[in-house]
Amino acid sequence: MLKGKTALVTGSTSGIGLGIARALARQGANIVLNGFGDAKAPQAEIEALGVQVAYHGADMSRPADIADMMASAASRFGRVDILVNNAGIQHVAQVEDFPPEKWDAIIAINLTSAFHTSRLAIPAMRAANWGRVINVASTHGLVASAGKSAYVASKHGIVGFTKALALETATTGVTCNAICPGWVLTPLVQKQIDDRAAREGIAVEQARRDLLAEKEPSLQFTTPEELGELAVFFCSPASNNVRGVAWNMDGGWVAQ
């Protein structure tokens, strides 16, 4: 379905971004990977699906890096047809204890980077009259949790940004939507489970069960594969008129 298209997925060396990159590659899209850590293994794995893969190590907190990544993707593939703004970080602390530099980093990486990638990708999408911007927000883009002020602010912000961009492109073939996962068992969440086990003096397995029970009626993690298939749906013709939604895939978290 996506043969000949190019998808750039920020923060795709692990977790949800890698799951989305895999799913889009299975539909034939060429992929631009981004993120820290080992990029060779994901690059080889996705190339084995028969698509072209590039990697750019841009730091999403640095606008100049982002501009370089977008320019290099355009020069390699012509344009970015599908932009997935996924890179994100977390820090948990009460507002009065929240390190200001962590606040700035979370807003820069989780929210402002999506503005920069989008402003640079949209002109070519408009010219082609086809494009998809998919923002990986969170249930924390719809409801809050204590201790996560910066994350909640960034994710509510990106849901708002999604709606504004969807309106600006509403009469074109470019759409913009958000995905709002509940708990997904990635390194970002494993750290919160490990912290909880240490803080409460309980086993990691117990901390994992408690984390789920607190928020997710299904008592199940959402998987990167499931989120990848939702991204594929947003890229399909069936989604041509799906604009500005914030779609939760969260085991019932925000239905409560």
Catalytic residues: 151
Centroid of chain to Cα 101? 22
- Exactly one of 9, 16, 51, 142 binds ligand NAD (CB under 6 A); that residue is 16
Place of tokens 């997710």: 216
101 binds ligand NAD, rule: CB under 6 A? no
Structure token pair of residue 153: 């602010």
Closer residue to ligand NAD (CB): 64 or 170: 64
42 binds ligand NAD (CB under 6 A): no
Q: Can residue 47 be called a binding residue for ligand NAD (CB under 6 A)? A: no
Site for ligand NAD in 124-143 (CB under 6 A): 136, 138
Tell me: does residue 186 bind ligand NAD (CB under 6 A): yes
Binding residue for ligand NAD (CB under 6 A) from 88, 157, 228, 244? Answer: 88
Q: 3-state DSSP helix/strand/coil percent for the chain, to nearest 5?
A: 50, 15, 35
Number of residues in contact with ligand NAD under rule CB under 6 A: 29
- Residue 26's Cβ-count burial label (10 Å; 0-12, 13-18, 19+) is middle
Q: Does 114 bind ligand NAD (CB under 6 A)?
A: no
197 binds ligand NAD (CB under 6 A): no
Find the largest Cα–Cα distance for the chain: 57
Confirm or reject binding of residue 35 to ligand NAD (CB under 6 A). yes
CB nearer ligand NAD, residue 59 or residue 128: 59
- Secondary structure (3-state) at 44: helix
Q: Where are the beta strands (DSSP E) in the chain?
A: 6-9, 30-34, 53-56, 82-85, 131-136, 174-181, 246-249
Residue 249 touches ligand NAD, criterion: CB under 6 A:
no
* Rg of the chain, C-alpha, whole Å: 18
Q: Which is nearer to ligand NAD, 49 or 107 (CB)?
A: 107
Q: Calculate ∠ Cα 28-34-37, nearest 5°.
A: 120
Sole binder of ligand NAD in the list 43, 86, 117, 118 (CB under 6 A)? 86
How are beta strands 82-85 and 131-136 bridged, if at all? parallel
Chain residues that interact with ligand NAD, rule: CB under 6 A? 11-17, 34-37, 59-61, 86-89, 109-110, 136, 138, 181, 183-184, 186-189
